[in-house]
Chains A and B, each alone.
Chain A
Amino acid sequence: MADGIVAVTEQREGKFRKVSYEVVSEGRRLADARGAKLTAVVMGSGVQGLASELAAYGADRVLVLDDPALADFRVEAYTEALAQALAADPPAVILFGATVQGKDLAARYAARLDAGLAMDCTAIDIRDGDLVFTRPMFGGKILAEVKIAGLPQIAAVRPNVMRIERQPRQAAVEAPALSLGAVPTAVVEKRMDTSGRVELTEADIIVSGGRGTGGNFAPIEELAAALGAAVGASRSAVDEGWRKHSDQVGQTGKVVSPTLYIACGISGAIQHLAGMSSSKVIVAINKDPEAPIFSKADYGVVGDMFQILPKLTEAVKALKG
């Protein structure tokens, strides 16, 4: 199967992350275009039960890499498991989700194979039979179209970009034997946010605040709650200590691609614009009609966010009934 396509999925606590359906759907599209077979890979401990779910998104075969050593994500063990499982039948293309885990694994695995890796792709096209990967650089200021020399060609696809498509089929489920040996690293603690907040990179809607908040994010939090949105922040809001680093959107923070991005009190520094310009629709609310954010926005409101946001929250609540 030197022409095979592999989609490596990601699960947490026995549930697939959304990007998993995105990589399998994208893998199906590539497999159809090239007349190839699609293999989806599930990794973890006690994850056999998850295999059938991936057949619904078009996998011809599901490889279940199930081992107690894979219970927690440890990149050395995951790299070794993937290398063992794919060695017998080397694929032509391997897709990962460009999450924290997926990027880490893709980078180490690609180095193991000395194979080219297109990180954080937003599109994969086929031109004259060759795969062309589009990947933002400089936080989105530039889009690079790249080909990869040699096989396999590895890509990590940005979450929230590839279309999910259900395409049920019969999939063969295989669980190859693994021999992982001693893993040098150990996960000693996990502190996960259990508030059910949406993660920025996976959010459909983001409400973001900047210097114009003056440190008061309450109206932003309330609008985000009404919309089921995640809360982001500009670099200056983070530098002021108003928000955590993990909330920062921009070239030195997270690059996000939601369907709706609402920027409140954010002037629009280049490095912030870079991190959110791939959002589908951008709304800017700012006091200053000359703020650069308006040049990147689809809809703009000139006004005081502290007056407008509460009314916006009320209107959203009224709409949602």
Chain B
Amino acid sequence: MNVVVLVKQVPDTESLVQIAADGVSIRKEDVKWVMNPYDELAVEEALRIREAKGGTVTVVSLGGARVQETIRTALAMGADKGVHIQDPAAEGGDALATARILAAALKSIPFDLILCGQRGVDEDNGQVGPAVAERLGIPHLALVVKLELLDGRVRGHRLVEGGTVVVEAPLPALITTQRGLNEPRYASLPGIMKAKKKPLEVKTLADLGVDPATVGAAGRKILVQALKLPPTRKAVRMISGETPEAVAAELVRVLHEEARLI
């Protein structure tokens, strides 16, 4: 079974996100870059599939030089090889452009199954997985919390509002991973040492046959006008009282009479 995992490097979720001086992008300095947490689930699941069924796990990522750290992390977890798509013309693209490039890269990588996180925790789009599947003309199952491989098919337990829906798709298929699927392993020290020797191929848009005009900043369909911080709230109003009863009564009064919420 050949499994390809699409990973993205994102700012750590515990970090403060700041708007850059241009007003339309975030500050890239002083940011701790990590593998998108949902993609960690995808890497872990790919490794478990390989452990059960054999085959190879290939990790693909798009971005500048620092993205190699994230690919190495996946290799240290146990993935077999990495593909880094690096091209100045690919920088600054939107979800559609990213999907176009990744789908082009997948034309030259054999796969039975593609795994990726359900969304990046940076732009919160959730578009790349479905868009890659659409471009490749294969089915996809989104938000999978349990994955079963059957003969030539995959069965995904999808988390929807208020329940779980179990869907089967023929292979090849793309799966987007949701929290609950597994607990990603940490890279071990021997894993980190081994990762340094694993193959990591760098590809350009020309290698993939992608027209630079259709991707990157030039190909954007989503045009950012401004980034803003959410509106700040008024200072908190503390509710106090002699007893828990008094506090509760006052809070209910305020929510009922003033805020008119209950």
Contact = CB atoms under 8 A, between A and B. Distances in A.
Interface stretch (A45-53, A57-65, A140-148, A160-168): A140-148
A76 B236 CA distance: 48
Contacts, number: 254
Interface stretch (B46-54, B74-82, B94-102, B186-194): B94-102
A311 B239 CA distance: 14
A119 B127 contact: yes
B37 interface: yes
Interface in A82-131: 99-101, 103-104, 107-108, 110-112, 114-120
Contacts of A104: 130, 142-143
A300 B162 contact: no
A143 B225 CA distance: 11
A270 interface: yes
Query: Does more than half of chain A's interface fall in helix, strand or loop, or is it mixed?
Result: mixed
B170 A301 contact: no
Interface in B217-239: 220-230, 233-234, 236-239
A248 interface: yes
Q: How big is chain B's contact interface, by range?
A: 35 or more
A234 to B, nearest CB: 13
Interface stretch (A27-35, A172-180, A193-201): A193-201
Given A111-B135, A284-B236, A314-B248, A116 B222 contact: yes
18 contacts: A74-B167, A75-B139, A103-B126, A110-B131, A142-B230, A143-B230, A185-B169, A188-B168, A192-B163, A205-B262, A251-B13, A252-B13, A252-B38, A270-B14, A278-B230, A280-B261, A314-B248, A319-B262
Interface of B: 11, 13-17, 19, 26, 37-38, 94-96, 99, 121-127, 129-131, 133-135, 139-143, 145, 155, 158-170, 178-180, 220-230, 233-234, 236-240, 244-245, 247-249, 251-252, 254-256, 259, 261-262
